[in-house]
Amino acid sequence: MLIVIGFLSCEKEKPPVDTDWKEGVIYFTGDVSVDGCGWLLLTEGESYHIGNLDKEFMVDGLDVWFKASDLNGTFMCGLAGNKYSIKEISELRKKPWEVRYLSDYPGRETSMDMFSLDSVYIDGDSIRYHVGYSGGCAIHQFNLWALETGMDGEGDLHLMLEHISNGDPCEAYLHEWLAFSLEPIQEKGKNQVTFWLRGSPIMSMLFGPYTYEY
């Protein structure tokens, strides 16, 4: 089945809803001593040098929440003389891979970059997706959002998978398995939740229903 849809502390953290928190990815570009650019922070399609990254967070491809301020000057690195603006981190958290309620983030604009959904299934308390997308030159991010109930006229929950390509211009076709915890959508007094999958808040096409039992 191929469905084409247009459309990050090791301890379990409750997602921050303070609008000062931003989402990003920590990634490694090689040691500066051998012409790499060290550890960078990718957020909203831009990469930054971090002047005070703790070793705990030096994990390539680590999805994080952060608060940071911009510092004067630029960081230069690599044979090509790459230049990056500098951020100083004031707070940093590892982001668990779990479904989150979009209503907890008022005003957040979701990204609907294209990807294919090859298969999806519930595995215990997780939902697993096999996705494909064009790229190869940038880090790709996926988020799973729970939308308002009742959008199908029946009161069931809708889950939307968001793809952020970060402007990747390359055309290699990549495949990836994703897994998100469904525990945040558990309801007290119930032992199951029924939900539908959709591509974006405004698309009418739905996939499902799926039943998560717990």
Q: What is the pLDDT of residue 153?
A: 55
Q: How confident is the model at residue 6 (pLDDT cuts 50, 70, 90)?
A: very low
43-73 pLDDT, tens digit each:
988 999 998 899 999 999 898 989 999 999 8
Residue 107 confidence (pLDDT) above 90: no
Residue 38 confidence (pLDDT) above 90: yes
* Cα distance between residue 138 and residue 172, in whole Å: 11
Q: What is the pLDDT of residue 174?
A: 94
Q: How confident is the model at residue 40 (pLDDT cuts 50, 70, 90)?
A: very high
Classify strands 46-50 and 39-43 as parallel, antiparallel or unpaired.
antiparallel
Q: What is the pLDDT of residue 200?
A: 55
Q: What is the pLDDT of residue 152?
A: 54
Q: What is the pLDDT of residue 3?
A: 42
Annotated domain spans of the chain: 22-94, 97-213
Q: Report, as an integer, the average pLDDT of 18-43.
A: 88
Q: What is the pLDDT of residue 20?
A: 76
117-155 pLDDT, tens digit each:
888 999 999 999 999 999 998 889 899 999 876 555 566
* Cα distance between residue 168 and residue 114, in whole Å: 11
- Return the structure tokens found at 34: 């051998």
Q: Which CATH class is domain 97-213?
A: mainly beta
* Cα distance between residue 80 and residue 91, in whole Å: 31
Q: Report CA 211 to chain centroid distance, whole Å.
A: 24
* Cα distance between residue 150 and residue 57, in whole Å: 40
Q: How confident is the model at residue 10 (pLDDT cuts 50, 70, 90)?
A: very low
